[in-house]
Amino acid sequence: MSLCDVITQKEVDAVASFVEAAGELDLEPFFGVDEQFRITSGSDYRRTYHLGDRFHFRSALISFRRIWMSKEPSCWRNVTQILSGSEMPDRIRVHASWQGQLIQNYISGLAHETDKEMETKKMVDLWLNTVFAHGGIAWGNRRSDFEAAADKYGQGRFEFGFRSAVRHVGAMFLGLSKNAAKPALDVFKDQLSLQPSFRIGAAFGTKRKEVTKHGELIIRQASSEYFSEETFEQRFQRILRRSHFQSLSFTLSQFDAAPVGVLKAVFTAASFSALIEKIGGTLEITEADGAAGGVSEILPDGFNSVTTILDAQHRLCGRMLISRQGKVRTTPRASIVLDAELVRLKEELLAE
């Protein structure tokens, strides 16, 4: 059979609906680089979970559910099955099959946050069907099951696991859309003269202020009760929390310097060495004296903090050791990575 024998308007619309939902998902702040996902300990609480805004997360779940739920035409399983058919072009078929298998392997695995006692799919279904889209009364997933799991594993841990799963699976949905579903729509149009029966778009808009094709201006802005202008210091802290700046973030947190002074030091320092000097420390670059070891190795005398430095390919470049007196010790390779990290931080601060 040829492609025209198996692809109907129904299949085209299903793929288009998936692409639309994935496009909306990609716009959600929850999937942005500033979404918080951290766990800390050592304070008055046994463990602290740093998570993003709850409204942002609930918003992301709307589009996520369109792709997750098996009864939706835009369900990832349905779309993967359409795009993995032998009649599809090889590049699309291979990407769809591979991406679908990645998703299946991940959601069928046992979630770490449930002590590997519950499949990731079960955890996601519990949240979606008992406390988000449904009340857990008339469906297979029961509210009592959700509450039992939250009590057993802890509310913070259980929510962290759910958010992590949505973020990981959502990223796979975006990969499926980019590498298989969108190219497939082009194939349907060019080879079969088939197009979606509706316009693919974001019904609720993509910007705070938009001009429509009808010449109307739409301004979407929350009440001042929920809205505040971000100061440059807040912006600096937000961007510094991004995962690719974790070495700089760790370093700056070890110094008792005023926020304004730290911000000034970042912008005026031409190198990591100059940055350390400007915030009151000294930098020693060496392969000896513990700098080249692993994070689990014993700290040399006089140092109380340590982190490992990885390059862009996640290769270990050494350790960074910091003393209470502000002495910093690291390797030549690590200092090069930190120089590059500082340059990138400045670029991202000025880019938005």
Q: Model confidence over 248-295: pLDDT tens digits?
A: 998 998 898 888 889 999 999 999 999 999 999 999 998 876 666 655
Q: To 10 degrees, the CA torsion angle through 188, 191, 194, 198?
A: 50
Residues 73 and 174 in one domain: yes
Better-scored residue on pLDDT, 60 or 142: 60
Beta strand segments in the chain, E? 37-40, 48-51, 209-211, 217-219, 282-285, 305-310, 316-322, 327-330
Least confident residue range of 124-128, 211-215, 270-274: 211-215
Q: For residue 2, is pLDDT > 80? A: no
Mean pLDDT value of segment 200-228: 78
How far apart are the C-alpha atoms of 113 and 164, rounded to whole Å? 10
Is there a domain that residue 339 lies in?
Answer: yes
Residues 174 and 32 in one domain: yes
Is there a domain that residue 224 lies in?
Answer: no
pLDDT reported for residue 226: 56
Least confident residue range of 41-45, 311-315, 323-327, 338-342: 41-45
Q: For residue 201, is pLDDT > 80? A: yes
Q: How far is CA 221 from CA 187, 204, 208, 216, 228, in A?
A: 39, 12, 6, 16, 11
pLDDT reported for residue 235: 87
Q: For residue 206, is pLDDT > 90? A: no
Residues 26 and 150 in one domain: yes
pLDDT reported for residue 138: 65
Could you give the angle at which helices 120-127 and 143-153 cross, rounded to 10 degrees? 120
How far apart are the C-alpha atoms of 278 and 192, rounded to whole Å? 64
DSSP SS3 for 225: coil
Q: For residue 242, is pLDDT > 80? A: yes
- pLDDT averaged over the chain? 88
Could you give the angle at which helices 332-351 and 259-268 cross, rounded to 10 degrees? 110
Is there a domain that residue 220 lies in?
Answer: no
Contacts of 352 (CB under 8 A, 6+ apart): 235
Q: Which domain holds residue 312?
A: 232-351
Q: For residue 141, is pLDDT > 90? A: no
Read off the pLDDT band of 19 (50, 70, 90). very high
Residues 240 and 165 in one domain: no
Read off the pLDDT band of 189 (50, 70, 90). very high
Overall pTM surpassing 0.95 (yes/no) = no
How far apart are the C-alpha atoms of 75 and 17, rounded to whole Å? 9
Q: For residue 299, is pLDDT > 90? A: no
Is there a domain that residue 197 lies in?
Answer: yes
Better-scored residue on pLDDT, 6 or 227: 6
Residues 192 and 240 in one domain: no
pLDDT reported for residue 214: 86
Q: For residue 224, is pLDDT > 80? A: no
Residues 193 and 236 in one domain: no
Could you give the angle at which helices 90-107 and 120-127 cross, rounded to 10 degrees? 80
Is there a domain that residue 85 lies in?
Answer: yes
pLDDT in tens, 168-180: 999 999 999 999 9
Residues 20 and 130 in one domain: yes
Residues 264 and 318 in one domain: yes
pLDDT in tens, 33-92: 888 888 877 657 778 888 988 989 999 999 999 999 999 999 999 999 999 998 999 999
- Supply the DSSP symbol for 29: G
Residue 207 in tokens: 């910007």
Mean pLDDT value of segment 213-240: 79
pLDDT reported for residue 43: 59
Is there a domain that residue 158 lies in?
Answer: yes
Residues 238 and 127 in one domain: no
Contacts of 225 (CB under 8 A, 6+ apart): none
Read off the pLDDT band of 296 (50, 70, 90). low
Is there a domain that residue 209 lies in?
Answer: no
Mean pLDDT value of segment 309-322: 87
Residue 197 in tokens: 């029966």
Percent of the chain with pLDDT over 90: 56
Residues 292 and 146 in one domain: no
Residues 58 and 132 in one domain: yes
How far apart are the C-alpha atoms of 56 and 54, rounded to whole Å? 5
pLDDT reported for residue 225: 57
Comparing C-alpha atoms, which of 235, 268, 272 is closest to residue 252? 272
Number of domains in the chain: 2
pLDDT reported for residue 295: 52
Residues 55 and 123 in one domain: yes
Q: For tokens 């939706």, name the residue.
A: 72
pLDDT reported for residue 227: 56
Is there a domain that residue 217 lies in?
Answer: no
Comparing C-alpha atoms, which of 48, 68, 65 is closest to residue 57? 65
